[in-house]
A and B are shown apart, each in its own frame.
Chain A
Amino acid sequence: MTARSRKTVGSFSLALIAALAACTSYTEIPIETPIQPKLDVSAFQRIFIAGFIAGANEDVDANMETVRLLRSQLRNKGIMRVIDADTLPLLEIAKQNSGEATAPPVPDQQAVTPPQPEQDPTKAPVFNDEKDLEPYQHIFANVAYWKRIGEEFQQPLIVTGAVLFAPQQRSGFVQREQEVYDPFGRRSVVPVRTYMERKGFVLRPTFIFIDGRTGETLHTETFREEILYNASQQTPALSSYFELMDRLLPAFLNTLSAQKIKGTRTLLK
């Protein structure tokens, strides 16, 4: 190849690269998408995270931990004035409330009374699925009770609900990536399907927003998050609880205040 032809080929290559760059010209840009709150809380100046129906599972007191976490998150974000009061023992209150409602007026009432969720009153029940929570949920519809709580705390927005945090086990095929090397020593990553025993936790909180002025439910929101680890991995339940709560906190906060979601998009020419 002569010097001239090399020069021609070089120029042509440069032109081709420039043309390709022009064809695929793009710019990445950071954006912040504002998401409007789901609930209009302008009528409230104070918020009371009252407590949650939650059982005793895996060394995590889901009631206390959820109350503590939500209060601190709301304080950090400056969303309304957070009332710092004792957490309501909702499970006990629901049990008492249920007892009052189904007080046996006749001796054979036992035969028609729905079975009580927990026989041993000194031991907190263990909740493994949604059905276990059902016997206590009437407390959320008790307008008089919540109105009374509202009056006690100067009519705030009350947040209550139920938190199911339970262990789970699952086995089956999972896809994972594996490094392989070809005869020339070149590395590549290929997907491999492997049978695995996995265990972890499921977190299913239901947040109920109650108007402290009337005792009526304004909004209900249910989330579900789960995490699974290799069966041999020992992960503390509390770490898993916080990891799962961390995933759904933005959505919880977005119920009360506008959120900005950061991301990157591509602008084209």
Chain B
Amino acid sequence: MSARHLVIGLLLALASASTVWADQRGDAKKQVEFGIQVAQRGLWREAIYRWERAAQIDPTYAAAFNNLAVAYEHEGQLAKAREAYEKALALEPNNALVRQNYDLFKEINDRALQKDGRQL
């Protein structure tokens, strides 16, 4: 096989991989957008389902994890919320909006974890 064939093959593989990735991101984005619509109507469980699907379809989609964290927070599932925020921040460490959500969450989470006061 000549070098030219190898390069063409690689380019084709790359193009097909990027098409698959674009399809995945497109599907995940649809789930995320639908999740936002239902969350705005107060249907948080449905939103969780949609964002979990989005995160499964595209595990590199930070928005899906961010939204999932917000929904878990709303449902009082604080451990799951922390995990999802941390995943979103790992994917997009410089995303100021995710960071802001996480900082607000931490304030509440720290308060919830403050189970016992100091003994006199």
Contact = CB atoms under 8 A, between A and B. Distances in A.
B70 A267 contact: yes
A265 B70 contact: yes
B97 A137 contact: no
Contact of B117 (A133, A223, A269): A223
Contacts of A206: 117-118, 120
A267 B39 contact: yes
Contacts of A266: 66, 70, 97, 100-101
Given A29-B40, A33-B74, A265 B101 contact: yes
Interface residues of B, number: 33
- Chain A, interface residues (CB within 8 Å), range: 20 to 34
Interface of B: 29, 32-33, 36, 39-40, 62-63, 66-67, 70, 73-76, 78, 95, 97-98, 100-101, 104-105, 108, 111-112, 114-120
Interface of A: 26-27, 29, 31-36, 38, 133, 137, 140, 161-162, 206-208, 219-223, 251, 254, 261, 263, 265-269
A268 B117 contact: no
A268 B36 CA distance: 8
Nearest to A141: B120
Contacts, number: 85
A222 B117 contact: yes
7 contacts: A29-B39, A36-B112, A220-B117, A220-B119, A223-B117, A263-B108, A267-B63
A55 to B, nearest CB: 16
Nearest to A217: B119
Contact of A267 (B67, B95, B100, B108): B67
